[in-house]
Chains A and B, each alone.
Chain A
């Protein structure tokens, strides 16, 4: 149908276009030309129809072929489906047979796989396995395996677990990679104490779980424990040595790294902590100044007690000099003058001691103030975030406690130093107040007995 339409269109165009093209030519020529062209057209069309006829034949052949193939495949499919069903039936039968024959063993393999997984997770962090990575690999494989484990693998599983138990009770020396706090890697000789701690070169190590690597703890325990560690490392095999063990397998040691240093601790006290420390420094400075002065005076007073001649550079000398000024004084007048002189000397000896005492009293009060401020902060954080996070509260509370601790650390030495200084000043005042009169009396006696001095 489509082909016919195309032919018609060609005619139509030629018929209507010819008069304009061939306007000057004769109509006879034009007719002949049209007839000739129509002839050739007819010929071409016939040819094309033949061709189309041939194509149709070929297409029909192809369809026939395809249909045959389809039939073949359908046949094959049904065959395969039949064999699949047969296989399925076989499989069910075999599985049932297997289940029957396995009996309790199926559960055993499940348990093996599960416990291999558990042991792998457990032994990953175990120090006792740190020098045996191949055992860990074996456990990982066994826990992930899809096939049923063989007898050897089962045996190896319990041997590995047993080995871990035995190793956990041994002190072993092996070489491994140690990462120092500055990121330096170095192979060192490591001593492992059971499954608990590892030391190298007298410093405690942290085990990196999963990787066969050790970290040197950036903050180490007290020096005497490090001494134990070094001692253990140098000890010959079979000898018993004391050693500081972290029974939590490194948790306590890692907490040690977390705990802040003294300076960080002091900074937690914030402004109030700084004020307390400043008062403490001021108090100690004041004590140093006062004590040096009192010590000097004490020294001079002692020299005065030894020598008879009154000197003007010490309070006792100035009191003794009262008699030398006027020998004719009545005892009553002398006593009044003596009291006056003592009264004049006392403030100079006691100056500043009350300040030290006040500082010693103020420091714990400031600590208390810091505690209260810290508690207010803690309760504010509770209001905001609730009590759900104890760590949030703990930060505020430890900050509050630091100020109390600072207050006490300043107050205790200041109290002691105040007592030391005031004992000294009290002694000096006592010498003047109670012994001054007596010394004066002795002085007078000596002067009278020795008339050429008068």
Chain B
């Protein structure tokens, strides 16, 4: 256990300060993604069920008003479904940028070593090079790992909103026929 922690620590030290920012962003990103899937899986069906129940028995209203109220509810639903997808996408954009920042700071380190030792010491330069490459790699890995899920969540969100709009408008059509 101690060895694993040490290895992680070493990885972070080799990557420099930027690694902590990338770690923070990746934790935030994955918390949001997991929270979204939990919402889709558990909370959304309940909410949608309640909404359907409310509209099933409803017949006593002006069609314009009913449509508007339905639109409002669907918009609310869409906001619920897609709210933090926006933030997830922001985090995914930030990750490669943070990696780039790490690359630049690593390069600064490399040129510092060049200024101090000259070109004669490639080993001393190696720490700067690892500082330049590890954050880029980590940033890309975090961004790529989140990319699929962000697109998937977006797709699911829009699809579910569309389905909900269809279902609710059918109730409305039924009510008007009566």
Contacts and interface: CB of A to CB of B under 8 A. Distances in A.
Contact of A437 (B68, B83, B94, B100): B68
10 contacts: A252-B124, A255-B117, A259-B112, A394-B114, A394-B115, A401-B108, A415-B97, A416-B90, A427-B79, A434-B72
Contacts of B76: 435
A391 B79 contact: no
Given A401-B104, A405-B105, A411-B97, A423 B115 contact: no
B68 A438 contact: yes
A102 to B, nearest CB: 43
Sorted nearest first, the 6 A-B pairs with minimum C-beta distance are: A438-B72, A434-B75, A441-B65, A441-B68, A394-B115, A394-B114
B41 interface: no
B147 interface: no
A2 B112 CA distance: 94
Interface residues of A, number: 42
A255 B113 CA distance: 8
Interface of B is mostly: helix
A248 B94 CA distance: 37
Contacts of B62: 441, 445
Given A258-B116, A401-B108, A412 B98 contact: yes
Interface string A401-433: 110110011011001100110010011001000
A248 B116 CA distance: 15
A416 B94 contact: yes
Contacts of B93: 415
B35 interface: no
Given A404-B104, A416-B94, A426-B86, 10 more contacts: A251-B124, A255-B116, A395-B115, A401-B107, A405-B101, A405-B108, A408-B100, A412-B101, A438-B69, A439-B72
A401 B117 CA distance: 19
A150 interface: no
A439 B70 CA distance: 10
A409 B17 CA distance: 12
Contacts of B116: 255, 258-259, 391
Contacts of A404: 104
B74 to A, nearest CB: 8
A205 to B, nearest CB: 20
Contacts of A409: 101
A314 to B, nearest CB: 17
A439 B68 CA distance: 8
